[in-house]
Structure 1
Amino acid sequence: MLKGLPDRELDGRLKFLWFVCACGPDSSFAYNLYSRYKDIYALYEADDYDTHELNIPDDAMRRLFDKRLEDAFELYKKTMAMDIRLYSIEDTLYPQKLKKIKDPPLLLFFKGRLPNFDKTLCAGMVGTRSMSDYGKKTAEYLAGGIASCGVIVISGLAKGIDGTCQRAALNNGGVTVGVIGNSIDTIYPKENASLFNKVYKYGVVISEYWPGCPTYKTSFPRRNRIIAGLSDFVVVVEAPDKSGALITASLAKRQGKMVCVPPMPLTKENAGTAALARGGARMIMSVSDILEEYEVLLPHSVPPDLPLPTLLTLEKPEGDEAQLPKRIKKEHIYNFLLDYLDEHGPVSLAQAAADGSKYSLKELMRAATELELDGYAVRMPGGLYDAVPGDKVPAATIKEN
């Protein structure tokens, strides 16, 4: 028997290893079968399993009736030798947040220092692997700011937005957690090897897949439920319409957690982000927009005399536009906004300001209010605006003020 664990604790983990290996990775029935017993000893000692509606494959049934633990013990020794640890769903240190989700992982393998997820504010930060320059800068700004306030940044250690968020968290002295969709002993993608090593040292890498476990197409989407489950809120930085980040957002929303999106240009690369905004995700312009609801939980507050910068450069118009009389300038703003709303509405004003507009968000907000009062625009639920069908604003109706 290995040293360092009480015999019963080790015995329980061996039985969990036996069970998850018998069921196989990405099993559709493992948690449902376990939940009938809610005790690994009772499950292990059962002589028969009432499994008619669980559709358990014959080969899995044969493994479940083979009660030998020698293979599980060898896997446990291999895991410990690789400096990898594990908690079962019955361990007291297993995150309570994860127990609340549908189909929680029965075993968590981890390498690094596991934080107390249940007593620390956690942000899931996800997005596309093919990020734009603007998406990269946005990810660095948001993740760095969030991490510097003491919030744990959780992501998938993938290339693109995920890895950028986790690097930014580490660069700002924060803690980050990588939830991977492959075996705990595999670094994927290889180009993120240096990031993995930093996370091992200053954070933790988590997987439900044991060393040597094969990876399937379903493995990466399934890890998203763990990211959402451990997070108190989720930020989708940049995502096309078929991004895996949208799975994480959907799971978080079902769990009653806040989903946030920053303003992004309306391109196909951001179609998923735009869809989330239309569906009620919270539009954020700064780190403080996210954290204001959690201020009492933050170990490090944002200094009140150092306001956070906004994501957008809200500069006044330059060049010829700045020299125009106010009346003509307002006509330009009104017609720009109506054209934009007519083409893209309903949409947020932050999105309009981000999408290549030369007008500031403040200017667009003022214009939208006046257009709404005059019957040219309508405000909709979620802070979105749309154009009322009709002609552009007649110049004669525009006041100088």
Structure 2
Amino acid sequence: MALVLKQKTAHAIKNRKYFQNVLDGLLARSNPHNPGNNFTENFFREQWQGQRTYELEQSNNSRAEKEKCAEFYERGEALRLLADSFLSQLTNPTPGSNQDQVLETYEKLQSLQKEQDVEAEKLGSFFSASYFNTITPRNPDLERRLALLWSAKTALFKAAVELQGEMQPLRDYQLDLPENQPITYEQFSKLALDDPFWNDGYLCLAKEPWATDSVVRTGIHAIMAIDRAKEEIGQLHIEIRRALSWGVFHREQLKSCIDQCIFGPIGPNLADAIKARFGSAVNSAKVLISGEADAALTKHEQLLLSWHDTIEGMVALHLIPPEIIPPGWRALMEFLSLSSNQNDAPVNLDLLLEDEVLRDQDSDGESVGVDDLGEVFAENNQPGERLQEQDLVES
């Protein structure tokens, strides 16, 4: 687990450093939207807030009307293409074709297309110049083209977001991607979400810098990536401290169980569990429980020692600050390191328990199963969720 946390921390720090370098490069450039000044972090954050406000102000009804308008123009475009196809058949007839039927179909399509144009004029458009609060007269052909472009790019952007999320949520920004060039599906699947392809204002119909300037979009993207990396690093610090604290606490619980069985006195919880599981065979139960606890303690201490080298390496590499290491961790690691080569503990344990076994007159311990022993130890020393946490860590 310690290695996994180390890898996650290193990855988050690498991303933070990369996007910080991107942001530093942008902050050294002049801001064309604020003449005489360079880009600033506050400017990028204000643009991000402006983009969020714009999206929030777009009501569901407004989006539905845009989609309806775009679909209307798409049907008109389909009619036009179909009419052109029939016109081509009339101009260059094929052998065996029914020219009268083709001509009749072509005339019907022309009639439908005229009705479509009339309805489009009545419908109005979210894509007209008046939508942007200007006095420019309406241009139906331009409105139609804008609607078709908006619809196509909206669908493409949704597909791009899904692809980016599946392949690489934090894809590196490619500065040399071509603008306004024909692209293949393979190129489209690798297109960054802050590429100039998305930044011409037609996707969202806004004219603010965040919608039209690819440099501003890159700055916003860098700011958000840095914030995300910082948040992830903070969460990882909490996870590391929590894991180390659990390691110290769990060892104390195991040691307490062993001490109760060997030296006494037995706590009320352990005494009740022994009585419920083993009856009057208290001495044999203490022998078995302490043996199981000692084996678990040895395994747990080995796990903590394996964590120790990783944690110290993270501190040395400045991946984590030493302040997040909980009190008692380093002292425990020093103690375990000094005693790790001593093998007399199991022998001493057997000697201390030998008298207890001989004094037990009620049971020879054969009726006690290993599974029952594990349940007793679990009930006395491990709350349910701590056992789950132990299993996850040790796996």
TM over 0.5: no
TM-score after normalising by structure 2: 0.22
Structure with the largest fraction of helix? 2
TM-score after normalising by structure 1: 0.22
Structure with the largest fraction of strand? 1
Larger Rg: 2
Larger RCO: 1 or 2 (CA < 8 Å, sep 6+): 2
